[in-house]
Amino acid sequence: MSAPTADTAVLGATSEVGPLRTVLLHRPGAELRRLTPRNNDQLLFDGVPWVPRAQEEHDAFAAELTARGVEVLYLDRLLTEVLDTPAARAELVAAAVDDPRLGATLRRTAAAHLADLAPADLARALVGGVAHDELPGARGLSWELMDRTDFVVRPLPNLLFTRDSSVWVGDEVAVTSLAMPARHRESTITAAVYAHHPRFAGAEQLYDASLEHLEGGDVLLLAPGVVAVGVGERTTPGGAERLARRVFARGLAHTVLVVPIAQQRATMHLDTIATMVDVDAMVMYPAVADSLVAWTVTAGAGGADRMADDGTDLVVRGPAPFVTAAAAAMGIDRLRVIDTGLDPVTAEREQWDDGNNTLALAPRMAVAYERNTVTNAALEAAGIEVVRIAGSELGSGRGGPRCMSCPVTRDPLPPPQPPEA
């Protein structure tokens, strides 16, 4: 099991655009081969991707990061390493068979099979799933009545989008509570890696999967101390409130902006309509630029109490235009919104293809899908260096470069300089 090194032991992020040093990815594998026209909707994909091409695209994405000095950690490799730990193995096997479809007999059979696997084989089963006909010695009424193409342990194709199941706020990690049933086990895998892998020794967990629904794609670190949380299809108001109380109690933020977004597939997360590309700039879907609002949440007069954690009093003000509320919280004159100048049809197409879902590598440098040509041209016109990657197959799960990456370490931004006289 790999241990932390002196160069990589520091963990956490306080912004979306601080120079990226370490990132957590998941290379797509056998779990994507489980997708068929019969099950892709249930597993939250809009199509059946060509897996070898998706892997090529992901490898090229990782290569662009590595070429710019970013250390890439792979979730499946970390998972394999922690499965040498009995506690992690027991947790993940129990979670894999905690499914009311199975019944007691099949649950025991599946648990015994998984428990006997070597770490690498168990990691593949937990991520890629176990089909009806792949379980030796299976028996029980539930197994007999299953279709041969059904899964005893369902695959996790959305593990590709590592941003959703965890997000770092300061030096603590929020293991999130994913809303869709097809994704629930992703958080158990992420939690086990953070809890048991020596790379993350000592890291405190800010949130966990037992709490109100909160997904990492809805959490944007606008600036040190300022967190925006989208509330819509995946994250609930209760999740946003719980996160606010905890970041205040732990001194990780002074302001949380709660941003309602449409409850629909195309805008499932806040980062599908807006992402930061500079310390004072974001690219935003034009259709919402003038209508997006935010409630500003701060700690009450009594202040935040780490011992109370979830008991911190909140003050809620608003709503106000999002860009106005954000600038005020960030302590800047204005938040620049990059106007793509798109006609409505092109804007809708490029938003659907994750044109607004960029991953900042540093201030004024962002990774984006190459297919969104008009949005990328607008970014470059605004002084943003665009690192283009292919995503024709990766995008079938409705996620862009930001969705596919969980920053583990970003350098802090330098303090703002006073204006020249």
- Catalytic (active-site) positions: 403
Which tokens sit at 202?
């000592």
DSSP-derived letter for residue 170 is B
DSSP-derived letter for residue 270 is G
Give the Cα separation of 321 and 342 in Å (integer). 22
Q: Are 40 and 3 in contact (CB under 8 A)?
A: no
Give the Cα separation of 164 and 64 in Å (integer). 22
Strand pairing of 385-389 and 336-338?
unpaired
14 sits in which H/E element: none
Give the Cα separation of 212 and 235 in Å (integer). 8
Q: Are 395 and 369 in contact (CB under 8 A)?
A: yes
Tokens 């938003």 correspond to 351
Tell me phi and psi for residue 141, to 5 degrees: -60, -45
Give the Cα separation of 253 and 65 in Å (integer). 28
Q: Are 17 and 278 in contact (CB under 8 A)?
A: yes
Dump the DSSP string for 256-325.
EEEEE---SGGGSSGGGTEEEEETTEEEE-HHHHTT-EEEEEEE-TT---TTTGGG--EEEEEEEEHHHH
172 sits in which H/E element: strand 172-175
- Among residues 395, 376, 362, the alpha carbon closest in space to that of 23 is found at 362
Give the Cα separation of 313 and 302 in Å (integer). 7
153 sits in which H/E element: strand 151-153
Dump the DSSP string for 118-130.
-HHHHHHHHHH-E
Quote the distance between the C-alpha of residue 21 and its chain's center: 17
Burial 144-172 (b: 16+ CB within 10 A, else e): eebeeeebbbbbbbbbbbbbbbbbbbbbb
- Among residues 289, 228, 221, 274, the alpha carbon closest in space to that of 12 is found at 221
